[in-house]
Chain A
Amino acid sequence: MYTLTNVTKTYVQSKRTITALKDVTLAIPDGQLVAIQGQTGGGKSTLLQMLGALDRPSSGEVLLADAALSALPDRKLAGLRAREIGFVFQGFNLIPTLSANENVETALAPLGLARAESRQRAAEALASVGLADRGSHLPAELSGGQQQRVAIARALVKQPRVLLADEPTGNLDEETRDEIMDLLEGMWRDRGLTLVIVTHDSAVAKRAQRRLHIKHGTVREAA
């Protein structure tokens, strides 16, 4: 699914150059469940941004299937994100003024579906995460775990090939964490997704087929 070749990403922060990723070469096959672990500031988020077509590398190449993410213009990247990539965030990142249903629908907005179809798909997605009866609730009226379920429904409603999760259980208690991990794992298995989870929780990482460790911008396979 992903092929990263000699990817380096540097930032200039108050005249100092920070190297977030250093010459990373990595391949992630279709349908793999990968966990990325590492210390804060080690480059986890930067790597996720490369995979999620949110940012371009300073040098090197990132391929999603045959699409060179490192070379596409912003507009094309946005289109790619809209169709191929689902995101789940640590802070859920739901739109506070929109209901659960409407939040899920935001993911379909760029696809230009008919309103009725968009509604129906959003309702189905919510049902698939066990929130069929919560469609009209605002995020503030839902628990943390329920909010993350809505976010997962939003990520999957467009039927992407890749699901990227950035600390998806970081804001949840242990019991809810396991529920969410069960849900993600179930989705991954049922839909044949490529699932990349950034986490520093070993309990989460243990569930992955493959564990990568990132430190000082360098990626290595964990035992």
Chain B
Amino acid sequence: MFATYLRRELTNRRKQSIIIAIGMALAIALVIVVNSVSAGVKDAQAAVLKSVYGVGTDITVTKPAQAPGQGTTANGPGRGRFDFGADSGDADSSTGSREVHQSRLESRPDAPVMASSALTRAKSVTGVAAAAGVLSLTNSTFDGTLPNFQQLREAREDRGGSGAAASTPAPTGGADGAGGSSFTVSSFSVLGIDPAGSDVGPLSATTLAKGRAFTKSDTGKHVAVLDTSYAKAADLALDDTITVGGTDFTIVGLVSASGSDATTASNVYVPLDVAQTLSGNAGKISTIYVTAASADDIAQVKTALEKKLPSTTVSTQADLASTVSGSLGSAGELVAGLGTWLSLIVLAAAFLIAILFTISGVTRRTREFGTLKAIGWSNRRVVGQVAGESVVQGLIGGVIGIAVGLIGILVVNLLAPTLSGTLGQNSTADAAGRLGRLGGAAGTTGAGGASAGGFGGGGAFTGAGPGGFTRQAAASTDVVLNAPVTLWVILIAVGLAVLGGLIAGAIGGWRASRLRPAAALRSVA
């Protein structure tokens, strides 16, 4: 009887059943899509982190980044500067200019160095399974033509220092507006790593595409491993040479990120000791990668590391995930914020619709339930009937919702939106500012060509702090969003559908249970 009655109610009161089912289906579909996309975004964030920090890295230890402007103390003249002496480059007396080429390798402003003894201390912390230290560097290359300031000064002195430079072939402004100078500044990221290899660290997340990986015997050798995408962009191939810090390195291997089409942590990888020597950071590292012995210990290991290594920043994967910005970060926020709220609101609306329809259904069927009670139906049987109808309506909605949700996920996966994840603090604006300053400096030099004597024997350029764009080149990673379908999502969806039906059924049933059987007599046909 229960099944027959239920079936007849659902089919003969089709409109109501359809409305409740559609509401529920919409909510369930939304929950599934939001859930799945948010899982996809989490996977993407993990992929970005993995490409940068390597597989199995639970914790990283770094020195806190210095504020811009404080960086000038570390290496004498200060970072981001190119220093040209009077005899830098090759003078060309006919044009009054000099060809200059300079390559600098230095630590990045966002990754200050610390003594490598920190690695030994990190390894001694209980719960640390493995740790590896790397030195994160930037190689900047200045390549171009500058005015020959020495020649200018000599010419001026010859004429008694009267100032005006009318008869001297003064450098003329070039098309780039940098009067008499024309140059390019380029940079790439360099990571010094232990060639002996380690299970933890940035290279652990890469696959060897060509050539060979580092071996212990590479220590002290000028060999480099390149990121495949960077090598392609820079037109470099296996066995070519690349100039790092003014020294030629032989490219022995090419690596690409495993698992996703993301780029790897750095453009160029070189043996740690060579990187330390060339950048003047002997015995220094910038980041320690730590694997905890057990995933449950991560919090304790973090605390222990912080105690053991004061004045460092200790970050767990979870801390790092929040630093993923870019469109991936926006997608994460969108899903977490709007998506979650929207699905909650729609879910609440669907529940409300189901409840209201059930209540109005019970009210409309007062005489029906009263009659059933009068002819001997127990309260339990009537409540069970009402609740059963609601649960089945919810389930139908749930099944439709799952189908719609799966189609939605399929659409997301077919569209496969590419998200770009950028790791680190807001450095882009910073870099742009510095670039602007460079342009300004170059302009001044050009325009003031005639009175350039003020520069003395050489020009000191404040070059572009490469940190900004280098970091982008190094840590901006493109990941294709893939929304996974898990059994859990389906179970949650079915659970919600049943829950919605049960809530509506319980409320409707409670109303029905309070009907007096005498209602069958009282209400007039």
- Residues of chain A whose beta carbon lies under 8 Å from any beta carbon of chain B: 45, 48-49, 52, 54-55, 74-75, 78-83, 85-87, 89-93, 95-99, 102, 105-110, 118, 138, 154-155, 158, 166, 171
Contacts and interface: CB of A to CB of B under 8 A. Distances in A.
B521 A48 contact: yes
Which of B4, B376, B524 counts the most chain A CB atoms within 10 A? B376
Contact of A102 (B8, B378, B517): B8
B50 interface: no
14 contacts: A45-B522, A78-B378, A82-B377, A89-B520, A90-B524, A93-B367, A93-B368, A97-B8, A97-B9, A109-B2, A109-B381, A110-B378, A155-B375, A171-B525
A80 B12 CA distance: 31
Nearest to A81: B376
A45 B521 contact: yes
A90 B378 contact: no
Contact of A54 (B2, B5, B13, B517): B517
Given A98-B5, A102-B5, A54 B518 contact: yes
B377 A109 contact: yes
B374 A54 contact: yes
Contacts of A75: 378-379
Interface in B109-147: none
B278 interface: no
A138 B11 CA distance: 13
Given A45-B522, A106-B372, 7 more contacts: A75-B379, A81-B373, A81-B374, A87-B371, A95-B368, A105-B1, A171-B525
B518 A90 contact: no
Instruction: Please name the 5 residue pairs, one residue from A and one from B, whose CB atoms are nearest each other, closest first.
Output: A82-B376, A91-B525, A97-B12, A93-B371, A109-B1
B373 to A, nearest CB: 7
A45 B2 CA distance: 30
Contacts of B367: 91, 93
B12 A96 contact: yes
Contacts of A86: 375
A96 B377 CA distance: 17
Nearest to B11: A97
A126 to B, nearest CB: 16
Given A90-B525, A166-B521, A54 B516 contact: yes
- DSSP class of B's interface residues: helix, strand, loop or mixed? helix
Interface in B1-47: 1-2, 4-5, 8-9, 11-13
Contacts of A171: 525
Contacts of B12: 96-97, 138
B283 to A, nearest CB: 86
A173 B2 CA distance: 35
Nearest to B368: A95
Contact of B520 (A79, A83, A93, A118): A93
A201 B367 CA distance: 24
Nearest to A93: B371
B368 A87 contact: no
B379 A107 contact: no
Contacts of B5: 95, 97-98, 102, 106
Interface residues of B, number: 30
Interface string B352-389: 00000000000000011011111111110100000000
Contacts of B9: 97
A99 B378 CA distance: 22
B14 to A, nearest CB: 11
Contacts of B374: 52, 54, 81, 87
A80 B375 CA distance: 9
Which of A74, A96, A97, A158 counts the most chain B CB atoms within 10 A? A97
A158 B377 CA distance: 13
Nearest to B524: A91
B13 A97 contact: yes
A95 B377 CA distance: 13
Contacts of A91: 367, 524-525
B199 to A, nearest CB: 67
B358 to A, nearest CB: 16
A107 B1 CA distance: 10
Nearest to B380: A75
Contacts of A54: 374, 516-518, 520-521
A74 B377 CA distance: 11
Nearest to B520: A93
Contact of B1 (A45, A99, A106): A106
Which of A82, A86, A109 counts the most chain B CB atoms within 10 A? A109
Given A54-B518, A105-B1, A92 B525 contact: yes
B8 A98 contact: yes
B351 to A, nearest CB: 25
B521 A49 contact: yes
Which of A92, A107, A158 counts the most chain B CB atoms within 10 A? A107
Contact of A78 (B4, B377, B524): B377
Nearest to B10: A97
Interface in B499-520: 516-518, 520
Given A89-B520, A98-B8, A107 B375 contact: yes
A96 B11 CA distance: 12
Contacts of A55: 516, 518
Contacts of B11: 97
